[in-house]
Amino acid sequence: MTHFGRRTVLAGLATAVAGRATQANDWPEKTVTWVLPFPAGGPSDGFARLAAELVGKELGQTVVIDNRSGAGGMVGAAVVARSRPDGYTMLIGFTGHTYASLIYAHPGFDLARDFVPISAIDRVQSVLLVNPTRLDVSSLQQFLEAARAKPDSIDMASGGLGTIPHLAIELLQIRAKVKLRHVPYRGGAPALQDLLSGQVAGMFATAGLAQSHVKAGKLRALAVAGRRREALLPEVPTFEEAGLPDFRAISWDGVFAPKGTPEPVLDRMHAAIQKALGSDKVRQQWAALGARVDLESRADFAAFIAQDGARWSAVIKAAGIKPE
């Protein structure tokens, strides 16, 4: 290549890079789409829509939710993994995406390889619930005593293979050395209905879903699987307070961008989310739904995801759960 030719190529590359930088700095110039890999109407959908409205106001552009459900949240993530990394299509990722390859043979994406984490939008602690007509226990210790007295006799519902309620059951069996009977359902709603009707004895669920049933006496909350007591159920101890330390089952949702999205876009979206969700009003609104949101850097969120994914991956392997 001639000296002139090399200069021409280099000049072209510089122009292209400058053009991309200008586009990133001008972002967003149109509607931003958050792909939610679940149907409308569920808890994740509720948090995502509230967050999208608030973040859109910060960005000065509309943020819309595109529900792409299927395969336990894998379909939507695979769609975003193949999208252009221009900042206009992002993913609402969740806990299960961190260990997808251990649950699904062909999830269609790899969270660490295909995405960049931006910010959490909610974190929700799980609560151990029982139907008192099926299992008349009032504490975690009584629950464990009943499980040890009759191994594999307490049937525990979950919203499906690999969900946090399922993995919480597996973790409880490992940590407390008990044998429970897992009964998977196609979603948390039918699982909760069967718990209320007495078809199953117990399950892990969020305080937001359980609160009214606990207060009505239809269900009994035994312990909160988090670092702190749950504001919606303040009388319920944590697992640590109840005698089983370092037991956590927390689900979360967060915003991810396809790998290759420009850094200025990532930074601006992160700043918008942190500002939108950081007010006392929003914190109170989230708490009323049994959730919290933490102000943290992109690096802190990435570290949390890696740690959480590694912890649940270890549980999956220890429990011998195989891909579907």
Q: What is the pLDDT of residue 274?
A: 97
Confidence check: pLDDT of 58 > 80: yes
Here the tokens at position 311 are 């912890």
- Digit-coded pLDDT (tens) for 28-56: 999 999 999 988 888 899 999 999 999 99
Confidence check: pLDDT of 25 > 60: yes
List the domain boundaries for the chain: 30-124+251-319, 125-225
Confidence check: pLDDT of 177 > 60: yes
Q: Per CATH, is 125-225 categorized as 2.70.98.60?
A: no
Q: DSSP secondary structure string, 187-232?
A: SHHHHHHHHHHTSSSEEEEEHHHHHHHHHTTSSEEEEEESSS--TT
Here the tokens at position 267 are 């930074």
Q: What is the distance, to the nearest Å, from the Cα of residue 312 to the centroid of all Cα atoms in its chain?
A: 12
Task: Answer whether 272's CB lies under 8 Å from 27's CB.
Answer: no
Q: What is the pLDDT of residue 2?
A: 56
Amino acid at 229: R
Quickly state the pLDDT bin for 187 (edges 50, 70, 90): confident
Quickly state the pLDDT bin for 241 (edges 50, 70, 90): very high
Mean pLDDT of the chain, nearest integer:
92
Q: What is the pLDDT of residue 1?
A: 57
Task: Answer whether 305's CB lies under 8 Å from 117's CB.
Answer: yes
Confidence check: pLDDT of 260 > 90: yes
Hunting for tokens 């931003």 — which residue is that? 32
Q: What is the pLDDT of residue 72?
A: 87
Quickly state the pLDDT bin for 207 (edges 50, 70, 90): very high
Q: What is the distance, to the nearest Å, from the Cα of residue 93 to the centroid of all Cα atoms in its chain?
A: 7
- Digit-coded pLDDT (tens) for 267-319: 999 999 999 999 999 999 999 989 998 899 999 999 999 999 999 999 999 99
| C-alpha distance across the termini of the chain, in Å | 54
3-state percent helix, strand, coil for the chain, nearest multiple of 5: 45, 20, 35
Here the tokens at position 140 are 């975690």
Confidence check: pLDDT of 12 > 80: no
Among 83-87, 149-153, 219-223, 279-283, where is mean pLDDT lowest? 279-283
> Percentage of the chain surpassing pLDDT 90?
83
Q: What is the pLDDT of residue 266?
A: 98
Quickly state the pLDDT bin for 11 (edges 50, 70, 90): very low
Say whether 125-225 and 30-124+251-319 share the same fold: yes
Residue 82 CB coordination number (10 Å): 11
CATH number of 30-124+251-319: 3.40.190.150
- Digit-coded pLDDT (tens) for 68-123: 988 889 999 999 999 999 999 999 999 999 999 999 999 999 999 999 999 999 99
Q: What is the pLDDT of residue 16?
A: 44
CA atoms within 13 A on the CB side of 232: 25
d(CA 69, CA 37): 5
